Amino acid sequence: MAELLLELYSEEIPPLLQIEARNQLKQLTENSFKEKNIPYKEVFTYSSPTRLSLKVKDIPEKIKIAAKEIRGPNVNSSEQIIEGFIKAKNITLKDLFKKKTEKGFFYFTKTEQETLMVEELLLIILPKTLAAINWKKSMKWSNHNMIWGRPLRAIFVIFNHKKLPIKFGHLDASNNIVVEQNLEFKSRKILDFKEYQYFLRSNNIILDQDERQKIILKRISTISKTKNFQEKINVKLLDEVVNIVEEPHVLLANFNKEYLKIPEEIIISTLEKHQRFFPIFNQRGNLTNFFFVVANKKDEKKLIIEGNKRVVEARLSDAKFFWDKDRSKNLIKQIANLKDIMFYEKLGTIYDKTQRVRKLAALLSDDLNINKEKIQIAASISKSDLCSDLVGEYPELQGVMGKYFALSQGFEDEVANSVSEHYLPTGITSAVPKKPFSYSISIVDRIDTLVGFFVIQEKPTSSKDPFALRRAAIGLLRVIIENKLHFRLRDLISYSIRLYEEQGVEIKNKKTEIEVLDFIRERMRNILKIKNIKVDIIEASLSSHVGDNFLDLYKKTSLMNKHLKKDVGIKVVNAYKRAANILEKTNKDIPGRPDAVLFRTDEEKHLYDKINEIRKAFTVKESNKDYENLLIKLSDTKESTDNFFDNVVVNDENQDIKNNRLELLKMFCNTFNNFIDFSKLEGL
């Protein structure tokens, strides 16, 4: 069995691009081998800053392709279509024969068994596979047409210990591996993966990213145990660091303890975001003045440690200067400076946004029973830290710095926390704000953003969402659901439109209110899918939902998913199914308004009373509705419907009585569909 080994040697590729390319190369190779029926044992992909490598084990040198029948066009097809098939398959008219299928008679052709050399297939497969890699950021260089993550210098490919002469762009593959160290190039002819890995390792390059990660973690663990540090690692940062070094060496460095007096978020951001270093915490979880540096070479003379210490202290010195300067600036007075920061050209400044958010928060406070004066203050200063030099230097800390500024200026804790927490959630699984001021401003801030871009007709498309409106809508829903909030969302949207109009924004989209609600409703699919709710239940819930109460929608959907296969759910579905099946056979448009005067049996009257009892339960104020109890009430109708169908003939000889009984069944189904649209469930 043969081995395929490929390496793409380039200038340094950023970590995230590396990881994505590595994953794509593996998937594309597996797909190509499967498509060409080439068996293999396993596909491995590796990467370092300058190398993207592929190894495929246990590939046969030859493969046999069994004879098979290929279906062509229908026998009644035009001559042009038939000739096209003949040409595409490189056959003659004599090679066609007719055969009957479920869809009629078709022309077929039969291929002969053949033996193919895998080497010849690889010459076709590999260039196509490499060309199919989709880079999020790519570049061209020199006068070449090739597109790659960074300029590609060389391609190495061997199959079965021999060079595979593929061509990719302007580059011809070789069987020599190139290594550059200290501006010197080394080259060596390679015959297999073992020799390849040994050559790289002898030149201080560890090819396997997983091995590099283990080395880093092991060394951090050893130092942490020795120094009694907490083993707390930022996983995303680790993934990044693993892919910027070829031979990792973990170094312990420190900075002046005086800088621990500034907020720890500044220090952590300096280390992680700006320098890609790992901050260190003691066993109590407190930040220390030590940090880990992962270097690409040994530091026997401590030059790397000293150099990085100076860099970190220089950044922290600047940060301390900004911190001391910015926290003394009155946040209320800073609001006016927001007029100089643009939110979006067609929607005004951040100051304009803050004024809208303040007024929306005041309206929401009535529904959520929150102190109106305090929530307006919190909303007013929610963006004030954007004027600070510190946030200008550390934009990722917007909100966080605002909280510290507010606390240092004597604002109440709940007001200060809302400045930081109203940006939450930042993702579909991240934390949501849990305190009233924080989640209130989070809600109105997102509503203002959604409404604004819908008003000016800059809505997301199927492929583009430049203003992250889907994320904003999902965040809004998560805040509502996870805090179990009831409020008049439609009124907030309507008021938001009016606020934009008052500020002179042109209302280009007259359907903004409806479209924003529909957009938010569609985002419920994402929320419900994450909760592993069945697709048909999601569809049944969304298609029946009207209004703006998404908490109730979530409750009903979750309950239905929970009980569908249990006794309660089975009873509900079966009761609905019997009524729906009869109505389906009538092919009539029945409104569902029976006349009680036309009832002739006790079963009809009892079912009618049961339906009205449920309808009454649906009219309870939404914040007081017990949906689990409602579902149980729906399941309790099973006995009534069974008695009805066992003792009442729907198709009565008297047409008026028959129609009235159909109206009763339609009323029954309509009532059930107030919960979810049961007709959308699978099996109905």
Reduce the DSSP state of residue 99 to 3 states and report it: strand
- Tell me the per-residue pLDDT of 22-62, one tens digit each, with 9 for 90 and over: 999 999 999 999 998 899 999 999 999 999 999 999 999 98
7 forms beta bridges with 53, 156
SS3 for 108? Answer: strand
Beta bridge partners of 167: 172
Sheet with 249-254, side-by-side order of all strands:
229-230, 278-282, 287-295, 249-254
Q: What would the mean pLDDT of 498-517 be, rounded to a whole number?
A: 96
Euclidean distance between CA atoms 158 and 634, whole angstroms: 68
In the numeric block, the tokens 């098979």 are attached to 68
pLDDT at 240: 96
pLDDT digits (tens, 9 = 90+) for 179-222: 987 778 889 999 999 999 999 999 999 999 999 999 999 999 99
Residues 159, 285: Cα–Cα separation, whole Å: 52
**pLDDT grade for 532, boundaries at 50, 70 and 90:** very high
Question: Looking at the predicted structure, is the pLDDT value of residue 549 above 60?
Answer: yes
pLDDT of residue 462 exceeding 90, the answer is: no
Contact 133, 54 (CB under 8 A): no
> Which residue, among 480, 488, 496, has the nearest Cα to 447 in the 3D structure?
496
381 vs 644, more confident = 381
- Per-domain residue ranges of the chain: 2-63+117-202, 74-111, 209-326, 331-530, 561-680
Question: Beta strand 152-159 with 114-117: parallel, antiparallel or unpaired?
Answer: unpaired
Q: How confident is the model at residue 111 (pLDDT cuts 50, 70, 90)?
A: confident
CA-to-CA dists, residue 116 to 4, 95, 111, 127, angstroms: 17, 22, 14, 19
CA distance 114 to 121: 13
Rounded-to-integer distance, Cα 272 and Cα 552, Å: 41
Mean pLDDT of the chain: 93
Residues 131/32, Cβ–Cβ less than 8 Å:
no
Q: Are residues 122 and 162 in contact, defined by beta-carbon separation less than 8 angstroms?
A: no
**pLDDT band of 683, cuts 50, 70, 90:** low
Cα separation of 68 and 51, whole Å? 41
What distance in Å separates the CA atoms of residue 106 and residue 265, rounded to the nearest whole number? 70
What are the tokens at 446? 């997102």
pLDDT-derived band at 684 (thresholds 50, 70, 90) equals low
DSSP state letters, 123-164: HHHHHHHHHT---SS-B--TT----BSS-EEEEEEEETTEE-
Tokens representing 405?
């500024």
* ∠ Cα 298 299 304 (to 5°): 125
Q: What is the per-residue pLDDT for 624?
A: 74
Q: What angle do CA 68, 74, 78 make, to 5 degrees?
A: 125
Angle, CA of 497, 501 and 506, to the nearest 5° = 105
What is the mean pLDDT of the segment spanning 302-308?
95
If you search the block for the tokens 């969304």, which residue do you land on?
A: 542
Per-residue confidence (pLDDT) for residue 69, from 0 to 100? 87
Q: Tell the residue number behind the tokens 């970590």, with chain if given.
A: 15
Please tell me whether residue 45 adopts helix, strand or coil conformation: strand
Residue type, 138: S
What is the distance between the alpha carbons of residues 360 and 362, in angstroms, rounded to a whole number? 5
Long-range contacts of 496-503 (CB under 8 A, 24+ apart): 496/356, 496/360, 496/447, 496/448, 496/451, 496/452, 497/451, 497/455, 499/355, 499/356, 499/359, 499/360, 499/448, 500/347, 500/356, 500/451, 500/452, 500/455, 503/348, 503/352, 503/355, 503/356
How far is the first Cα of the chain from the last one, in angstroms, to the nearest whole number?
54
**Coil, strand or helix: which one is 486?**
coil
Tens of pLDDT, residues 276-298: 999 999 999 999 999 999 999 99
Q: What is the DSSP string of 246-259?
A: SS-EEEEEE--GGG
pLDDT of residue 65: 80
What is the predicted pLDDT for the residue at 112?
80
Q: What pTM was estimated for this model as a whole?
A: 0.83
CATH of domain 2-63+117-202: 3.30.70
Spell out the long-range contacts of 33-42 with Cβ–Cβ below 8 A and sequence spacing 24 or more. 33/125, 36/121, 36/125, 37/63, 37/65, 38/63, 38/118, 38/121, 39/63, 41/1
User: 3-state DSSP call for residue 499?
Assistant: helix
Q: Which helix (H) or strand (E) holds 542?
A: helix 535-544
CATH architecture of the domain with residue range 561-680: Orthogonal Bundle (1.10)
Could you tell me which CATH number the domain at 331-530 has?
1.10.3210
Mean pLDDT of 652-668: 91
Predicted confidence (pLDDT) per residue in 596-609, tens digit: 888 899 999 999 99
Q: Distance of CA 401 to CAs 131, 286, 381, 407, Å? A: 45, 19, 12, 10
- Positive or negative, the Cα torsion across 564, 569, 573, 576? negative
